[in-house]
């Protein structure tokens, strides 16, 4: 599962993890233990679902045991299984009253990934994003003390956009693994069938261009949230939003040929990201640089 963005910096003291939208040294120090505990919970579950050579049935059984360990930790009774995950998580659940159903939603998405399903339409894909990506944003909003309806809606938009961007960025990696997040309905609109094949075609580029536009509009709908989050959290989210938009710029700069080439954020992009993060508008209006032209 990829419920985040590969340009993201992981919490201080932990290994890099692609599935974590907002967590780095910019995180307020008092919240770093909670962020790290959530990170390790998701990281370990992701490895159970994706890594190694276990059969799908074995992965599902292990994820079931993992969820039982989560519920025990929520009761303040972390057991002997995965103590490096659930001992600190139990402490942070108690200390911050973390919403355990959001953590369980992540496991639901991980279970879905073990079957590598094809998605019939965008509604089905968005349902997956609502469980694979959006809970992380909501957990971080909870830690930041921002919990109103508008903020939750904008957080969901940002996290869903990050997930979509990761899908389109990683097509060259996912397709050989028989994992495809392009929906059947979107493919059929361009005369294509699933799973997509690697050869570069005009129809494929048109499809990717449409998907990029969808991800961009979703991100821009949530972007005003950066002005609602205090201090370091707000600046971290600014950089995450701009990182996502920059990936979309780079996909467009390649004429949407991402079935064979993966774009990525590089050190040279840092000044551009910082400048754009500084001048983000307070409304959902499209910034001048995000009009679809890659710059």
- Is 125 inside any structural domain? no
* Per-residue model confidence (pLDDT) at position 8: 41
The pLDDT confidence band at residue 264, using thresholds 50, 70 and 90, is: confident
* pLDDT tens readout for residues 75-96: 999 988 999 999 999 999 999 9
| Residue 140 tokens, joined | 């971080």
**Do 157 and 283 lie in a common domain?**
yes
- Is 135 inside any structural domain? no
CATH of the domain at 170: 1.10.600.10
**Do 102 and 247 lie in a common domain?**
no
* pLDDT tens readout for residues 195-241: 887 666 899 999 999 999 999 999 999 999 988 887 778 888 888 89
Region 108-129 average pLDDT: 95
Phi, psi (rounded to 5 degrees) for 149: -60, -45
**Do 105 and 51 lie in a common domain?**
yes
**Do 94 and 208 lie in a common domain?**
no
- Is 279 inside any structural domain? yes
The pTM of this model reads 0.87
Domain that holds residue 110: 10-115
* pLDDT tens readout for residues 174-184: 888 888 999 99
**Do 289 and 167 lie in a common domain?**
yes
* pLDDT tens readout for residues 7-50: 343 343 334 444 444 445 567 788 889 988 999 999 999 999 98
**Do 201 and 79 lie in a common domain?**
no
* pLDDT tens readout for residues 132-164: 999 999 999 999 899 899 999 999 999 999 999
In the chain, the number of structural domains is 2
* Per-residue model confidence (pLDDT) at position 26: 65
Give the C-alpha distances (Å, rounded to integers) separating 118 from 87, 164, 235, 278: 36, 15, 36, 39
| Residue 169 tokens, joined | 């960025």
Q: What is the mean pLDDT of the chain?
A: 85
* Per-residue model confidence (pLDDT) at position 251: 95
**Do 103 and 156 lie in a common domain?**
no
Long-range (24+ apart) CB contacts under 8 A made by 280-283 are 280/223, 280/226, 280/227, 280/238, 280/241, 280/242, 281/223, 281/224, 282/224, 282/227, 283/224
């Amino acid at each position: 599962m990829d419920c985040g963005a590969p340009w993201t910096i992981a919490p201080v003291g932990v290994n890099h993890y692609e599935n974590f939208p907002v967590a780095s040294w910019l995180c307020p120090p008092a919240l770093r233990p909670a962020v790290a505990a959530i990170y390790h919970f998701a990281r370990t579950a992701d490895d159970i679902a994706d890594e190694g050579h276990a059969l799908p049935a074995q992965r599902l059984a292990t994820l079931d045991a993992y969820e039982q360990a989560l519920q025990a930790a929520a009761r303040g009774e972390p057991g002997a299984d995965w103590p490096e995950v659930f001992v600190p998580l139990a402490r942070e659940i108690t200390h911050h009253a973390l919403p355990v159903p959001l953590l369980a939603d992540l496991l639901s998405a991980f279970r879905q990934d073990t079957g590598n399903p094809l998605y019939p339409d965008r509604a089905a894909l968005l349902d997956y994003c609502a469980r694979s990506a959006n809970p992380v944003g909501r957990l971080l909003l909870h830690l930041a003390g921002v919990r109103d309806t508008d903020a939750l809606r904008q957080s969901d938009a940002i996290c869903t956009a990050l997930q979509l961007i990761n899908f389109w960025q990683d097509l060259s990696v996912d397709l050989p693994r028989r994992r495809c997040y392009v929906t059947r309905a979107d493919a059929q609109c361009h005369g294509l069938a699933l799973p997509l094949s690697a050869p570069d075609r005009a129809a494929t580029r048109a499809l990717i261009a449409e998907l990029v536009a969808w991800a961009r509009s979703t991100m821009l709908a949530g972007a005003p949230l950066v002005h609602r989050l205090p201090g370091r959290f707000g600046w971290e989210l600014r950089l995450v939003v701009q990182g996502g938009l920059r990936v979309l710029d780079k996909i467009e700069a390649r004429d949407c040929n991402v079935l064979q080439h993966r774009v990525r954020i590089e050190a040279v992009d840092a000044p551009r990201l910082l400048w754009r993060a500084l001048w983000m508008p307070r409304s959902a209006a499209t910034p001048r640089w995000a009009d679809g032209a890659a710059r």
